Amino acid sequence: MALFDDIEAVLQHRAPERLPVFCLSQEFDARYAGLTYREYISSPETIVEVQLEVMDQFEWDWAWLHLDDTLEFEALGVGVAEGGENVVPCTADYRDFDRETLRSLEVPDPRSARMPLLLDAAAGLRSQVGDSRCITGRVAAPFSAVTLIFGMEQSLLMMLDDPELFAEALEFAEEQAISWGVAQIEAGCHAIWLGDCNASLHLISPEHYRRWALEPCRRVTEAFQEAGGMVILHNSEDTLEGLKLQAETGPDVLSMGPGLDIALAIEEFRGKQPLMGNVDPIAMLTEGSASEVAAETGRQVRLMAGGGCILNSGECVPREAKGANLHAMADTARQIWELVGP
């Protein structure tokens, strides 16, 4: 059975013939290929070359083109710090959160600033692997996008001090998210990783999530689905309460953080919401032993035998992770599925 037949089985809450196995391994990927992270994101051609290598070596069923959180915001005048050779670019200077600034912003052309880096990498990978791998781009969901443009502190204060302005900012962020995600789907991405970590219940209350984050995220999700893309929502959530709220946005797959026992999520969402999770990238893939990783991977895969699940790391895998541990995750998943799958 082809990969997308297996993914379709997951979306229909069935057990796939072959369990899809993903990993949020971009920082590790660069090191595995003998590159600094700066070298890895230096060109679309380099990204394609590295992803082809790691997909071959570990047999991951996707290429995850996250790259960094600033690609679409640098074009809005948000300051970006490159950091060191192995530091993922991050925000260095947020925009002022006021009406004058907000009204000066325009949704950028997806071919502006550094945004083509991801688009061209997606197109290059799609031309190389076709539909044999799930090419996955990334978009910040509207709530998190506002915090990435104006800063978390300014954003949380504005929710209380000027709710009308905050709502206007969400409208802008929603428009930009849709533009950026649809451009990636048109470039060749099968799926969009919709990141909304700043709207997890680590940071905001359930009431604020429902008021501010839920509906904008749902509309963006629907726009990507209408454009032909699969949506994977990730808030790095570790509570069932938060996952239940996030499921209301209608993602194709709901990804959880490493802090929640996947057994609880599978029991809660069986037959209702496809799930993705959640091998711990620090405790297991970086600090654990290969035998510990194999044991945890085997446990999770057995829990997934009822269907509706994709195996993945619960968060980004550090550059310092052990290659043997990632091999243990990938290999064990395949071996155990041979025993427990359909």
Are 323 and 177 members of one domain? no
Interhelix angle 214-226/163-187, rounded to 10 degrees, is 20
Last residue of a domain, one of 210, 229, 249: 249
Are 47 and 118 members of one domain? yes
In a domain, 256, yes or no: no
Q: d(Cα 310, Cα 301) in Å, to the nearest integer?
A: 9
Q: d(Cα 249, Cα 116) in Å, to the nearest integer?
A: 28
Predicted pLDDT at 89? 86
Are 10 and 156 members of one domain? no
Q: Which pLDDT tens digit goes with each residue over 179-209? A: 999 999 999 999 999 999 999 999 999 999 9
Predicted pLDDT at 86? 80
Q: For the chain, what is the domain count?
A: 2
What is the block-wise mean pLDDT of the chain (342 residues), using blocks of 10 residues? Answer: 93 98 97 96 97 97 96 94 80 93 97 96 98 98 98 95 98 98 98 98 97 98 98 98 98 97 97 97 98 98 98 97 98 98 92
Are 5 and 44 members of one domain? no
In a domain, 156, yes or no: yes
Q: Which residue has the tokens 């200077």?
A: 93
Angle, vertex CA 39, rays to CA 131 and CA 29, nearest 5: 50
Are 70 and 184 members of one domain? yes
Are the C-beta atoms of residues 91 and 78 closer than 8 Å to each other?
A: yes
Are 40 and 17 members of one domain? no
In a domain, 265, yes or no: no
Q: How far apart are the first and last CA of the chain?
A: 12
Select from 236, 223, 224 the least CA-distant residue to 190.
224
In a domain, 12, yes or no: yes
In a domain, 269, yes or no: no
Are 312 and 323 members of one domain? yes
3-state secondary structure of 1: coil
Select from 58, 1, 2, 14 the least CA-distant residue to 310.
14
Q: Which pLDDT tens digit goes with each residue over 217-268? A: 999 999 999 999 999 999 999 999 999 999 999 999 999 999 999 999 999 9
In a domain, 274, yes or no: no
Are 14 and 71 members of one domain? no
Are 8 and 61 members of one domain? no
Last residue of a domain, one of 203, 227, 249: 249
Domain of residue 201, residue span: 25-249
Predicted pLDDT at 1? 54
Are 183 and 321 members of one domain? no
Are 232 and 324 members of one domain? no
Four-CA torsion 65, 66, 68, 69, nearest 10 degrees = 140
CATH at 50: 3.20.20.210
In a domain, 292, yes or no: yes
Are the C-beta atoms of residues 293 and 317 closer than 8 Å to each other?
A: no
In a domain, 186, yes or no: yes
Are 218 and 73 members of one domain? yes
